[in-house]
Structure 1
Amino acid sequence: MYTKKTFNGMLMISLCFVLVAALLGGCQGENGNQASSFKAGKYTGQAEGKDGVVKVEVTMEQADQIKDIDVISQSETEGQGDEAIEQIKARILEGQTLTVDTISGASLSSQAMIAAVEDAVKQAGGNLEALKSGTVKKPGEGKTEKLTTDVVVIGAGASGVSAAVTAADKGAKVIIIEKTGVIGGASNLSWAGKFYNSSAAVENGLKVNVEQEIADWIVNNHWRVDAAAIRQYVTKSGETFDWLKDKGYNTTFLNFGGEQLHMLPAYETREELLRKMLSESVEQHGGQVITETTAKELISGAGGEVSGVIAEKSDGTILEISAKSVVMATGGYAGNKEMVKESFGFEGVNGGLGQNVGEGLKMAWAAGAKVPDNFGGQMLHQTLARATSSLKKEYSSFEASYPLMLSYLPNFMNVGPSGARFRDETATLTSVAAANTSAFNGPYHMVIVSKSQLDALTSQGMKGVKAPQLPGMPPEFYAEFKDEFTLDTPWAKAEQVFESMVKNGDGFKGETIEELAKNAGMDVDVFKETYNSYMDATVTGVDTEFGKPKEYLQPMGTEGHYYAIIAEINNLGSVGGLVVNTKFQVLNDQRVPVKGLYAVGLESEGVMYNDTYVGNGVGLGYSFTSGRLGGESAAARALGK
């Protein structure tokens, strides 16, 4: 007779035999993979993306099959990051694998999508090893497709689209290829362009003295520029305004403190408008628009002339495109941090497109193009607070932007990593001056805020610290809180926000000056001397070190605590990399055109600047203008005109 205890013991022994047997032989999948503790059902996963959390619901079925993926929420860049998420979703479902290629230009969004799905699979007890072990063979691998055209344009940003459209309108058959799935490139993220003496500017009573503008431009760049290129842009860019208008891409004139700026169409409409331009010109004239296709190598003839490009489609198919003219419009290399650091010494933030990593330049150099003497210039244009992104997860956009706004005001002491001041802080009132003075000083700078200043901000807003004007941030920085963006809006929760900044590792705090210096990694003696000197200046009204005006030398109080905001510089893009003439022909080491090769946009813009971009709206205005004019030249050669 079995007792209850005996029965339970035998039951446990039986279960052990069953488990051992399963482990030794029975629990093998079709491919010999050991089964996981998988449970079918719906699971929610999430991961941090470029602009926020990507959250998904994954439906898992038997045999570790991913039946469906529903994107519950995401805040990735419209037209780029969000499209990448959808493409990654399709690739995972089609291949039943987590080993998929990320999308060019949206790698962070792509990686977040993969990680979010992985998170859900983990919760289901899915076999991650199996889902990651396989690689999906691309359907086009091993295939080669040969195409012939008059003009091939590499890159479909503002300059590339303009070049393709103009060339097609001149009668050329055009193929334009783009490595991402998005048309428009950086123009989809930009604010405004400069078209000198456009019809809209003249109608609004603002006309630039062309000869004076050209002369000042040349002097300001220490004469190390191509004066003909500058003259062409200043005298021809106004025509681009009307050309874009005729094409349905309407920009709006803005008198920006005496500067002629032209605001681009609404962000959400831009890609559609550019696609329409390509459809009505390139495609209607027998050409093609091919996206998700990356150029790999220029085709050169025996005489050194460029006669086409080899590219790879996302499905693995190799394209060999023969053409009479090749236009480079690949957007530079600002997304390649190693290349930027080596050529310019900059270690800040890439605020441009991640896909712009310089392969277009390298292809052109390999085909005989000259590396410019001033190679390395960047478009440093905005100041950023490292804290903003993390703070937006806890606070409203206005509150999360407190540290950012202070980095744009001249009333606060700025120091470099060592703790020494490095500028008259009124440089913060001009975006290019602010960016370049900081970048010259190091990878970041710090804005020092005292308790008394924070108290004044809490009670009276920026008026409490005698801010001379609203922070000069780009409109997109404050679009979400424009109603609160006033000098007299009190800064509620200011202390709490700054405490969170420190907790998140995006700033520092000290009860004393010495403690702040130590916590921020500054040299204590250097910062202490800097602080004392600055305090003397606030008392006497005379800044003997940098000459900062008296009205901005605001007292900081005599008691702690103190905060240090980490401020970084935003690089909107590299400037230059190829030397061109006014026909936008790429030149070789002897400054003679490489036959068949043209360049437009940022990669050709180095002829306009010494070593650093100092324009406002020029980058975008030049992209459209150089594309329009360069496309004409490329078509003329292709058609024998």
Structure 2
Amino acid sequence: MREELMKKVLKTVLAFGLVASLLSGCSQSAKQPEGQTYQAGTYTGISENGKGGKLALTMEFSDQAIISAKVTEHHETPNISDAPLEQIPQQIVDQPSLNIDVISGATITSDAILEAAADAVRQAGGDVEQLKQAANNTQKSEEVIDLTTDLVIVGAGAAGMAAAVSAADEGADSVIVFEKQANIGGNAIVSGGFIENLGLPEELKADNDAGYEARVLNALEEGPQSEEEAAVWDQFTAEVEAWKATDRTKVFDSPLWMAIEGVRTDGGNLEDYLYFAQTLQEFDDWIEEMGVEWEKAHGIVGYSWPRWTSVKNFYSGEGYFHYFEKNIEENQYPIDIYTSTPVTELLVDEEGAVTGVHAVSADGTQYNVKARQGVLLATGGFAGNGKMLVEYNELWEGMTEDVLSTNTAGATGDGIVMAQKLGAAVDQMEAEMMFPMADIKTGSTEAIVGASASCLMVNQEGQRFTNETGTRWDISAAIFEQTGDQAYIISSSNNSGIQDGKTQGGTDVENMLKNGELYMADTLEELAAQINMDPQALQATVKAYNEMTKTHEDSQFGRTTFEPNSEIAEGPYYAYPCVPAAHITIGGLVVDYDTMQVVKESGEAIPYLFAAGEVLAGECGIDGSFAQGKALAKQIVHNVVKRDLN
């Protein structure tokens, strides 16, 4: 089961709010706002505006003071919400004030706690407006700390944490990681947590069906489509023939098939796909050695071939970081992680080589860090930065700066912007991928009920309008052509993905039903009524769809993939309303792939500035970020000469 993920190892700088609360002493010694009185007692304030909906804060008052405050109910995202849930209630008591700084990366949760606190104060007869105006007495640090390390990593997400652990694993003497949010994990924490794995044991491989088999056999019959494919076709043929000699109960897969399918679907270079498959499998095997257990493989939205798996017993992407931290602790690796401490500047010498970084903690402490082997940018993309999305957008008509995003608040393109100040080149910035099945209120992917590879998608009129297993680009574009720019995923008890009252991503289903983020009924007629849809149209669409799951023939949109349990069977039935939300920015920094150093428009490398993951042009997805971070750190440790920067 889920264990507490955010145990800090070695030297981790906590968000300044917790530090301040520890230094401020007990609540009874805090100076109370003049004239503020309460009706002594215990009151529970409510906010319906948390990331996960309802949040309750229970506060105890004397007639003149706030004695205690504690969140007693919430449905927030684990790890991301940990810091505000712990720190903000204590700050309210210690200040005492409702003029509290929000926690970086958890603004929605922070605001909900303050809203619930205002409700409790109001119930107690206190003056809410006075507390909102009360001074925030947290003292900022003026300390400046100078450090020297082998490698500085900017960003503690998939690429950054994989790089940190890999560097230590390969013998680095010291690694420093800076993360601007209050938790590690980056976007991987709120992703589906799925990565491609070609090395799963047989029992965890996806079950074969006629659709999957036909795709492989058709590709074999078509023969090589390029000189690259021709060079490996004998090997591919042998692999398929060996699989055909088995009982075929499990889907066929191999690095070659992954590469061939990738090139034919998305274009590109076969050699690059094979290299990706190799480095990805190295990462899968590496983290498996840390104790990871995998879920059974399946397809995901936009990538229907069922080779995707996730860490067992953890929601979304949090499991990877649990095992990273466990590995750091068990091996006593020399990794220092500074959270709530954004890097604000890349430091360079007179020749333009990057020598380190300047960072500023939320508590005011400044860090000047020299990096003997360089700085690795792992800050991700900019899908959480509406202004930057609009600036570069060329694909999505009508996009505005308030566009929903599946990303964390930290995905604002900081690494790209800092590198551009040094003259770094960028590419593909207009290639902004939307995720077509995001929550209509929050943009979250954790709330998804059902999945495109095994469920049905309809518009407001109850009609199918696209191939549910198509690319994210195609599905998103199709949704934007529908009434209200939204769609519904229709599922039933057998394929909703709901277990123990939670979605596959860990979102509370009861709360979703209350907030209009999900609809449930015992019959399709009742479900249609709830979402103002023609019940006869929905029933007819479901009937036709169920027939397709048996024949694998889709005359409308050409869908061929129907996973086991794709049929809309017995109730309860679910309708999950969804919209496209900014998900992945394909654009980013340009690097020399031989050295992974960031380059300028001229092609000249910026010495000792490296980059991995979604901060790069053309890179996307947590699996690639994990694999690239691990591989690059190994390369730096063994191939980059340490400089004397003193």
2:637 to 616, 631, 635: 635
Q: Would the aligned equivalents of 1:415 and 1:447 in 2 still touch at CA under 8 Å?
A: no
> Structure 1 residues 196, 78: CA separation in 2 closer, same or farther (over 3 Å shift)?
closer
2: CA distance, partners of 1:252 / 1:462:
21
1:91 to partner: Cα distance? 2.4
2:285 to 242, 245, 251: 242
1:25 is aligned to: none
2: CA distance, partners of 1:203 / 1:565:
28
Specify the SS of the correspondent of 1:427.
coil
Q: Would the aligned equivalents of 2:83 and 2:103 in 1 still touch at CA under 8 Å?
A: no
1:569 to partner: Cα distance? 1.7
The one-letter amino acid paired with 2:343 is A
2:425 is aligned to: 370
1: CA distance, partners of 2:414 / 2:171:
29
2:361 equivalent to 1:313: yes
The one-letter amino acid paired with 1:59 is E
> Structure 1 residues 306, 493: CA separation in 2 closer, same or farther (over 3 Å shift)?
same
1:69 to partner: Cα distance? 0.3
Task: Give the structure with the larger helix fraction.
Answer: 1
2:470 equivalent to 1:427: no
1:313 to partner: Cα distance? 1.4
Specify the SS of the correspondent of 2:329.
helix
2:380 is aligned to: 331
2:171 is aligned to: 171
The root-mean-square deviation of aligned C-alpha atoms, in Å, is 4.6
2: CA distance, partners of 1:431 / 1:125:
55
2: CA distance, partners of 1:388 / 1:306:
38
* Deviation sequence 1:530-564 (CA, Å, 0-9, x none): xxxx9xx99xxxxxxx945799xxxxxxxxxxxx9
2: CA distance, partners of 1:253 / 1:367:
45
1:584 is aligned to: 596
1:327 to partner: Cα distance? 1.1
* Deviation sequence 1:502-555 (CA, Å, 0-9, x none): xxxxxx679999xxxxxxxxxxxxxxxxxxxx9xx99xxxxxxx945799xxxx
The one-letter amino acid paired with 1:491 is A
Matches within 5 A, 1:219-234: 220-223=265-268, 229-234=272-277
Specify the SS of the correspondent of 2:355.
strand
Specify the SS of the correspondent of 1:383.
strand
1:89 to partner: Cα distance? 1.6
Q: Would the aligned equivalents of 1:380 and 1:435 in 2 still touch at CA under 8 Å?
A: no
Q: Would the aligned equivalents of 1:296 and 1:311 in 2 still touch at CA under 8 Å?
A: yes
1: CA distance, partners of 2:116 / 2:507:
29
How many residue pairs match? The answer is 515
2:623 is aligned to: 621
1: CA distance, partners of 2:481 / 2:586:
20
1:217 is aligned to: 262
2: CA distance, partners of 1:76 / 1:313:
25
1:559 is aligned to: none
Q: Would the aligned equivalents of 2:190 and 2:408 in 1 still touch at CA under 8 Å?
A: no
2: CA distance, partners of 1:199 / 1:116:
46
Specify the SS of the correspondent of 1:68.
strand
1:302 is aligned to: 350
> Structure 1 residues 43, 93: CA separation in 2 closer, same or farther (over 3 Å shift)?
same
Q: Would the aligned equivalents of 1:151 and 1:323 in 2 still touch at CA under 8 Å?
A: yes
1: CA distance, partners of 2:596 / 2:31:
57
1:267 to 310, 314, 333: 314
2: CA distance, partners of 1:86 / 1:146:
30
Q: Would the aligned equivalents of 2:33 and 2:96 in 1 still touch at CA under 8 Å?
A: no
1: CA distance, partners of 2:150 / 2:559:
63
Larger Rg: 1
Specify the SS of the correspondent of 2:622.
helix
> Structure 1 residues 443, 597: CA separation in 2 closer, same or farther (over 3 Å shift)?
farther
> Structure 1 residues 407, 213: CA separation in 2 closer, same or farther (over 3 Å shift)?
closer
> Structure 1 residues 262, 386: CA separation in 2 closer, same or farther (over 3 Å shift)?
closer
1:192 to partner: Cα distance? 4.8
1:415 to partner: Cα distance? 7.7
Q: Would the aligned equivalents of 2:150 and 2:642 in 1 still touch at CA under 8 Å?
A: no
> Structure 1 residues 279, 335: CA separation in 2 closer, same or farther (over 3 Å shift)?
same
| TM-score, normalised relative to structure 1 | 0.68
The one-letter amino acid paired with 2:504 is E
**How high is the sequence identity, in percent, across the aligned residues?**
24
The one-letter amino acid paired with 2:630 is R
Q: Would the aligned equivalents of 1:151 and 1:638 in 2 still touch at CA under 8 Å?
A: no
Specify the SS of the correspondent of 2:156.
coil
Deviates more, 1:161-170 or 1:628-637: 628-637
2:327 equivalent to 1:277: yes
> Structure 1 residues 317, 58: CA separation in 2 closer, same or farther (over 3 Å shift)?
same
1:61 is aligned to: 62
* Deviation sequence 1:198-243 (CA, Å, 0-9, x none): 36479967664545644553454455xx776544312321111111
Specify the SS of the correspondent of 1:607.
coil
Specify the SS of the correspondent of 2:468.
helix
1:375 to partner: Cα distance? 1.1
> Structure 1 residues 32, 511: CA separation in 2 closer, same or farther (over 3 Å shift)?
same
2: CA distance, partners of 1:242 / 1:436:
34
The one-letter amino acid paired with 2:410 is Q
1:287 to partner: Cα distance? 3.4
2:73 equivalent to 1:73: yes
2:579 equivalent to 1:568: yes
1:181 to partner: Cα distance? 2.9
1:446 to partner: Cα distance? 4.5
2: CA distance, partners of 1:476 / 1:637:
42
Structure 2 gap ranges (5+): 1-29, 206-242, 244-250, 511-519, 546-554, 561-574
1:637 to partner: Cα distance? 5.2
The one-letter amino acid paired with 1:368 is G
1: CA distance, partners of 2:156 / 2:350:
29
The one-letter amino acid paired with 2:628 is S
Q: Would the aligned equivalents of 1:334 and 1:571 in 2 still touch at CA under 8 Å?
A: yes
Specify the SS of the correspondent of 2:592.
coil
Matches within 5 A, 1:584-623: 584-604=596-616, 606-608=617-619, 619-623=621-625
1: CA distance, partners of 2:636 / 2:344:
21
Q: Would the aligned equivalents of 1:175 and 1:289 in 2 still touch at CA under 8 Å?
A: yes
> Structure 1 residues 408, 122: CA separation in 2 closer, same or farther (over 3 Å shift)?
farther
Q: Would the aligned equivalents of 1:408 and 1:471 in 2 still touch at CA under 8 Å?
A: no
> Structure 1 residues 258, 195: CA separation in 2 closer, same or farther (over 3 Å shift)?
closer
2: CA distance, partners of 1:125 / 1:203:
58
Specify the SS of the correspondent of 1:278.
helix
2: CA distance, partners of 1:183 / 1:32:
35
2: CA distance, partners of 1:131 / 1:305:
49
2: CA distance, partners of 1:168 / 1:407:
39
Specify the SS of the correspondent of 1:350.
coil
Specify the SS of the correspondent of 2:387.
helix
1: CA distance, partners of 2:32 / 2:81:
37
Specify the SS of the correspondent of 2:589.
coil
Matches within 5 A, 1:385-464: 386=440, 412=458, 425-430=465-470, 432=472, 435-438=475-478, 441=481, 445-447=485-487
1:521 is aligned to: none
2: CA distance, partners of 1:445 / 1:74:
30
Deviates more, 1:186-195 or 1:153-162: 186-195
Deviates more, 1:157-166 or 1:240-249: 240-249
1:573 to partner: Cα distance? 3.3
Q: Would the aligned equivalents of 2:525 and 2:535 in 1 still touch at CA under 8 Å?
A: no
Matches within 5 A, 1:534-573: 547-548=556-557, 567-573=578-584
1:354 is aligned to: 409
